[in-house]
Amino acid sequence: MSETAAPRRLALIDRDGTIIVDKVYLSDPNGIEFAPGAIEGLRLLRDAGFALALITNQSGIARGLFDVATLERIHDRLRSLLAAEALHFKAIYFCPHGPDDGCDCRKPAPGMIQSAMRDLGFAPNEVVVIGDSDADMGAAKAAGVPAVRVAAAAKSASIGAAQDFLEAARRARALLS
C-alpha cells in the first residue's frame, strides 16, 4: 500500500496475549516482549491496506497496580518499538476500569470498538477485531464486527484459534477481502 493511500479497513487489536506476551499487569515499559508472529502479522495487515489500532482492558489501573502515566509510558515504548519496524497505530484505546465497574468500554462491552470506528471513520463491515480472549470475541460480536481469535502462549488454545498473530492476521485479511 502506498504511504499516501488511505487505509480501506481497520484492524482493532488486543494487546496482552495477542501482540505482546501477557505478563499479567505489565507495569514496566521494558517488559514488552512481542508475541510470536506479531511484527510479521502487523506488517501483513498494513501492507494489505489496514489501519491498525489497539484496544486493551487495563484493570491494573483500577486495582492500583499502576497508574495512567505508567500505562502511557508502556504505550510510548510500544509505539517506539513498532516505529523501528515501520509500523504504527492510528490510535490506542484502553479501559482503565475493573471488571465490576459497569462501564461500557471494558471488553466484552463494545465501547472501545464503537469509539474507534467513530473516531477513525470506519463502518462495521470495514473492521475486524483480533484478540485472545472471550472478552475480545464478545466485544466484537456486541459491536457487530467479525473477529479472529489467536491462541495466547500462556493460555490453553481455543478450538479454531490461530496458532500465532501472523496466522490471525492472514485470517483477518481474508475476512475483509
pTM greater than 0.85: yes
Q: Which helix (H) or strand (E) holds 175?
A: helix 165-175
Confirm whether 144 is domain-assigned.
yes
At 102, list the grid cell: 459497569
Say if 153 falls within a structural domain: yes
The predicted model gives 24-40 an average pLDDT of 96
Assess if residue 2 is contained within a domain.
Answer: no
Number of domains in the chain: 1
Q: Of these residues, 14, 22, 132, 136, which one is catalytic?
A: 14
Residue range(s) defining the domain that contains residue 120? 9-175
**Confidence class of residue 156 from pLDDT cuts 50, 70 and 90?**
low
Catalytic residue among 16, 22, 136, 164: 16
| 42-58 confidence digits (pLDDT tens) | 999 999 999 999 999 99
CATH of the domain at 59: 3.40.50.1000
DSSP 126: G
Q: Is 104 a catalytic residue?
A: no
Q: Is 16 one of the annotated active-site residues of the chain? A: yes
User: Does a structural domain hold residue 3?
Assistant: no
